[in-house]
Amino acid sequence: MIEGYIYGLIDPRTTEIRYVGRTIASLAFRLMHHIAETQRFQTNAWKTSHKHNWIINLARDGLKPEINLLKTVYSATEELTELISEEENTIAEYKKGGRLTNTMDGGCGWTSQQLKDLWATPEWREKQQQIMRNVYKTDDYKVKLIMGRKKLWENESYRTTMLTTLKAEYEKPEVREHRLARLREARKSDSSRLNTSEASKKSWVETREKRIASIKVACSTPEGKQTRLRCINKAVQANKRKIRCLETGHKFESATEAAKQMKLNRKAINNQLCGRAKSTAGFHFSYYD
């Protein structure tokens, strides 16, 4: 026989039972779980229920629910048939004259099929999506979401697991290509390029000293010096390659010569040759042997 409990969560302000549930764990543990669950759901406000909102309101007043044993039930099997049935009866009993925050009439809560059926209803789906859109727009939600993610990433175990998972995903050719395609599409818009440029400038201003110090430290090592020389040689060789202007047909010994003769920015020409820009002041260049 498995011993289970039907309990009630009581509002300390009114001594009224506001929620009826079941558990085979201790009542103290179950109460702690309800409070912890509510704190997690506060980050995703659209997921909160009447019970969560009630516990949140209590917390604002510096209070928390009290838990009270209503019935002890013994079940013959691990399916807890007797306990579930008694929970349903108890919820129905207290709903007659009280203000229970229970969403369901007992049992195992929302099933996967019930949720699928609800989301298949256009009216219900549109209502839920509108609620989510309104919540996502609030600054309070954005702050909580950012803080919640930062807290998760501070956990070393979570961070290691996520980095390993992301690395494994990015190594898949189809995932990498899909991600690159999205980036290319985003960079086509003027607003995206402007936002990227502004973000880069802001990041450089905020981290300039730190990044310069890191580069100096890296370049002071033998490996760093070799890497730096390879990068310099590669840039020099690239700048010495012959290029031609597709619009005018003129040929140049290097990007530097093209920039001087056509009065253009050499860096802009190199960016266009490397694919980082579509054109240089309306001109297009390409390498030739």
Q: Do residues 180 and 155 both lie within one domain?
A: no
Q: Do residues 151 and 177 both lie within one domain?
A: no
Q: How far apart are CA 281 and CA 149, in angstroms?
A: 42
Q: Is 270 exposed, middle or buried (0-12, 13-18, 19+ CB in 10 A)?
A: buried
Q: Do residues 269 and 179 both lie within one domain?
A: no
Residue whose C-alpha is closest to residue 46's, from 169, 184, 138, 108:
138
| pTM value surpassing 0.75 | no
Backbone φ and ψ of 25, nearest 5°: -90, 180
Q: Do residues 271 and 209 both lie within one domain?
A: no
Query: Can you give the residue range of the structural domain that contains 163?
Result: 138-169
Q: Per-residue pLDDT tens for 203-212?
A: 888 888 888 8
Q: How far apart are CA 124 and CA 43, in angstroms?
A: 22
Residue 129 belongs to some domain of the structure: no
Q: Do residues 142 and 102 both lie within one domain?
A: no
Q: What is the dihedral of CA 243, 245, 246, 249, to 10 degrees?
A: -100
Residue in this structure with the two tokens 């450089």, named with its chain if needed = 204
Q: Do residues 143 and 190 both lie within one domain?
A: no
Helix axes 173-187, 190-219, angle to 10 degrees: 120
Quote the number of domains for the chain. Answer: 4
Residue 142 belongs to some domain of the structure: yes
Q: Do residues 213 and 265 both lie within one domain?
A: no
Q: Do residues 185 and 160 both lie within one domain?
A: no
Last residue in a domain, options 88, 106, 124 = 106
Q: Per-residue pLDDT tens for 214-253?
A: 888 888 888 888 888 888 777 777 667 888 888 888 888 8
Q: Do residues 156 and 181 both lie within one domain?
A: no
pLDDT at 174 over 80: yes
What contacts 271, CB < 8 A, 6 or more positions away? Answer: 277, 280
Residue 126 belongs to some domain of the structure: no
Last residue in a domain, options 63, 90, 106 = 106
pLDDT mean across residues, the chain: 83
Q: Are 77 and 22 in contact (CB under 8 A)?
A: no
